[in-house]
Amino acid sequence: MDWDKLSEEAAVSDEHLLESFLEEGALKKEDLVDPIHERKVFPVFFGSALKNEGVQELLDGLETYVKPGHYPAAFGARVFKISRDDQGNRLTHVKITGGKLKVKDLLTNAKPSDDTDMKQSNDSIWNEKVDQIRIYSGKQYRLVQELEAGCICTLTGLTHTKSGDGLGYEQDEMKPSLKPVLSYRIVLPDGCNVNEMLKNLRQLEEEEPHLNVLWNEVLAEIHVQVMGEIEIEILRSLILDRYGVDVAFDSGNLVYKETIAEPVIGVGHFEPLRHYAEVHLLMEPGERGSGMTYDSSCSEDLLGRSWQRLVLTHLGERNHMGTLTGAELTDMKITVVAGRAHEKHTEGGDFRQATFRGYPSGTDAGPKGAARAGLCFQTGDAKCLSWKGDVGYPKDARAARGSGYGSRFCGAFRGGAGCHHDELCHGSECIYKGRGQALSECERL
């Protein structure tokens, strides 16, 4: 197609192009740069790389029509792939979206918006140096010392990155909404080390984010969640080619998940010697297909913002299992509504333990879907009473409570959820008021 005909076709896609075409009778190639960048015009090139036909025209078109990007000065990068080379080195493929990257630069998944004084868990925050920056061309590569924004490269030395991670100012991508619906048990041949195979499958899971590998500690079995027979054959062939193990799969089962029927409150308490953390979690049923969402409405007077962020990090770092069938929880919103830390004895790992104790206490569902296991109530004789079902704290239990243990307490008829800390009660109202719990009272003893 000649340029005059191409100009006429392109002019009808944009009002400004049409005005230029009518005034001058033809368009310049530079006039198409902005419409192409705004996705109003889509150039199409034909050729064959195998026969080396049309390659130069494509390169010339990219140089002519592609608008150079403008990148910020702050460093940012997006991880789009994880792989391994022939020597088994872990490779992180990234595109640099801002600033510069040099060899031996320290990378972290902590975001610049996080507080500098925030206490963070070693399980969630990592800091690693870049050993090499590689530019690949097929299987061959060359090493460089520095790259600027806009470049695609491969990094070595990073062991915690995942596909979709954002480095620097870049935020992590949302997890894919498409989930496998079938679960298969991997049958290993005689003499195969199950722990070694689990380690190998974890590597494949890093490279293929949609592959979900599960380990059953009780039965010492490896399960994988896949979409169907075709993916099973691909996975079986990949395991045989890479690790030399011919595995089999059982008949498979549907993947079941649990949720809750009504809003409940779960309380996690962790207090061994010289450690202390307590967190209160409001769990509400979400819309079908919404997945797990996490939020915080806790006042910073009750629990510092850094501790709240730490709790949210621990909530999202693993899949939570329900108490009805042991299946994974889904379609729930978990909100941090209260908590308490000690200035001297609380460490980051304490809230990890308290968080993982909190959600099971709320998901132990009763006949109506309400929480059955609530907060333990400390009595005056140091006995811990856990009230279940649709009952509240009886008067004799309140009377047995020591007068020196605090000045207020809150009782909830549904779920037995309550608190025994002064800081968790504001005046004469309970912090749980209006959150879906039928509260009995909040009184001063």
Kindly state whether residues 128 and 197 are assigned to the same domain. no
Kindly state whether residues 216 and 271 are assigned to the same domain. no
Helices 348-363 and 305-316, axial angle in degrees (round to 10): 60
Distance CA 158, CA 199 (A): 17
pLDDT for position 70: 84
pLDDT for position 176: 66
pLDDT for position 322: 78
Kindly state whether residues 286 and 236 are assigned to the same domain. no
Residues in the chain with pLDDT values less than 50? 114-122, 365-445
Report the CATH number at residue 223. 3.30.70.870
Show which of 204, 229, 254 is a domain's final residue. 254
Report the CATH number at residue 323. 3.30.230.10
Residue 71 lies in a domain: no
pLDDT for position 372: 31
- State which amino acid sits at residue 323: T
Count of domains observed in the chain: 4
Kindly state whether residues 316 and 426 are assigned to the same domain. yes
- Give the phi and the psi of residue 86 in degrees, each rounded to 5: -65, -25
- Cβ contact 418:374 at 8 Å: yes
pLDDT for position 5: 78
Distance CA 429, CA 295 (A): 22
Q: What residues contact 316, with CB distance under 8 A and at least 6 apart?
A: 292, 294
What does pTM read for this prediction? 0.59
Report the CATH number at residue 129. 2.40.30.10
* DSSP label of 328: E
3-state secondary structure 192-228: CCHHHHHHHHHHHHHHCCCCEEEEECCCCEEEEEECC
- Cβ contact 310:121 at 8 Å: yes
pLDDT for position 431: 43
User: How do 292-296 and 332-341 pair as beta strands?
Assistant: parallel
Residue 70 lies in a domain: no
Residue 404 lies in a domain: yes
Tell me the residue range of the domain where 11 lies.
Answer: 3-65
Kindly state whether residues 298 and 402 are assigned to the same domain. yes
Q: Give the burial string for 348-385 (b: 16+ CB within 10 Å, else e).
A: bbbbbbbbbbbbbbbbbbbeeebbbbbbbbbbeeeeee
